Amino acid sequence: MFKAALKEAAWVFVFSRLTIILVSYICVVLLPQFGQILPLNCTSPVQPNPCFFAWYHWDAMAYVSVAYKNYAFTPEVAFFPLWPLLIHFGGLLLGGQIPVSDYVAGLLLANICFYFALVLLYCLLCEDFEASLAKKALFYLAFYPYALFFFLGYTESLFLLLSVAIFLLLRRGKTLDWWFAGGLGFLAALTRSTGLLLSIPFLIMYVRHFWVAEKRDQKSWFQKINALAPIILFPLGILAYMMYLGYLKGNPFIFQFEETSYWNRHFVWIWITFGHIVKLFFINSLFGYENVKNLVDFAFTILPILALVWAWKRIPLHYSLYTLAVIVFSLSFPLGTINRLASQPRYMIVLFPLFAIFALWGKNPRFDQFFVSIGPPLLAVSTVLFVSHYWVA
């Protein structure tokens, strides 16, 4: 199975990377950046070449900043430390030329993580479903309209890799697998705050392995305690970061403060967020820029929710509850601006159970044809908008 996984992941990985690179090149050469009249001159003798930094926008810049300046700019404490730490060491291996080396390291690490995430996802879905579904899920994931963020120097690829690896370990459930899963959960929590929610599938699979009726009497108390103990590693990831912030900034909760005060994210009841969005549809011009952005964000936020409702009993329980928990958590902390759902579709692309659901839909040839016809083109459009500085998610 592993050889098949390497092969299936390879072709979809290479094809999707070539698509993003080609579209980015055409965009940079032919289209002007936001606020400019002419496209960039890629033959310019200026070093570093501005076209080389086509993907160096927004969060990618923040992670590179943390990688070489630590948290000198205090609002960047909202970006958890594992990814910039990896970028820092990757940049050193590439020569330490700041910010070029760190930027390239982020791109390389993101794509390496994404490839191995595809490999592990294929193995996992073959175990829980079948090979044909796993193959479709890889394609749908790699060519999803927001899959650009698996290419950029963002955390999506790393978090996806860690979460799929945890699910694989939990499915196998051998003695050391629980500790490996806990260790990866610790790393996931150092990558994103939602890493803590990976403790949900951990607990569900623990109960399934040790407390269902037919297995309850087959395991010793030592085995049960040994398997449960690693769950403490999930919150320890966040606690470790808080201790570091306490040492560095004098306040272990400063990342929450900065999320609210600088990045404008704070807790809001989900129905209030959606109510605000619906109200804007009636207030603003139907085809106005803000309304179009809100409509796109709304559509790609609602789609995962509808998919989960449809497939609740068609996928394993730990898939469903983990997906639900992340969706609820993310939607509870929207942007406090007119674009309340900005970035929400991006946060949801790491939820691989959604792509298992899409692959279940893909058994219907009409859905498969529909996705193939709109998925890659929309990915190309997202790439153009991102590279041109017209869109951030």
pLDDT tens column, 297-347: 999 999 999 999 999 999 999 999 999 999 999 999 998 777 889 899 999
Last residue of some domain: 138, 169, 200?
A: 169
pLDDT on residue 62: 96
On whether residue 351 sits in a domain, the answer given is yes
Same domain? 152 vs 209: no
Last residue of some domain: 169, 204, 228?
A: 169
C-alpha dihedral, 295 to 298 to 300 to 306, nearest 10°? -130
On whether residue 2 sits in a domain, the answer given is yes
Q: How confident is the model at residue 14 (pLDDT cuts 50, 70, 90)?
A: very high
Domain range enclosing 179: 173-263
On whether residue 392 sits in a domain, the answer given is no
pLDDT on residue 363: 94
On whether residue 367 sits in a domain, the answer given is no
The percentage of residues in the chain with a pLDDT greater than 70, rounded to a whole number, is: 94
Same domain? 315 vs 341: yes
Q: How confident is the model at residue 213 (pLDDT cuts 50, 70, 90)?
A: low
pLDDT on residue 223: 87
Same domain? 60 vs 165: yes
Same domain? 190 vs 119: no
pLDDT over 70 at 371, yes or no = yes
* Segment 134-162 mean pLDDT: 97
Same domain? 9 vs 48: yes
Same domain? 72 vs 131: yes
pLDDT over 80 at 214, yes or no = no
Same domain? 10 vs 153: yes
Same domain? 152 vs 192: no
Same domain? 303 vs 352: yes
CA dihedral for 209, 211, 214, 219, sign (positive or negative): positive
Q: What is the tally of structural domains in the chain?
A: 3
| Greatest mean pLDDT range, 188-197, 263-272, 282-291 | 188-197
Could you give the CA distance from residue 295 to residue 284 in angstroms, rounded to a whole number?
Answer: 12
On whether residue 189 sits in a domain, the answer given is yes
On whether residue 156 sits in a domain, the answer given is yes
Q: Mean pLDDT, the chain, as a whole number?
A: 92
**Which of 276, 268, 245 lies closest to 258, judged by CA?**
245
On whether residue 373 sits in a domain, the answer given is no
On whether residue 369 sits in a domain, the answer given is no
Q: Tens digit of pLDDT for each residue in 32-41? A: 887 677 777 7
Could you give the CA distance from residue 360 to residue 13 in angstroms, rounded to a whole number?
Answer: 21
Same domain? 332 vs 244: no
Same domain? 307 vs 333: yes
Lowest average pLDDT, out of 52-56, 272-276, 371-375, goes to: 272-276
What is the reported pTM? Answer: 0.96
Q: Are 189 and 235 in contact (CB under 8 A)?
A: yes
Q: How confident is the model at residue 288 (pLDDT cuts 50, 70, 90)?
A: low
Last residue of some domain: 118, 146, 169?
A: 169
Same domain? 60 vs 126: yes
**Which of 320, 341, 323 lies closest to 332, judged by CA?**
341
pLDDT on residue 191: 98
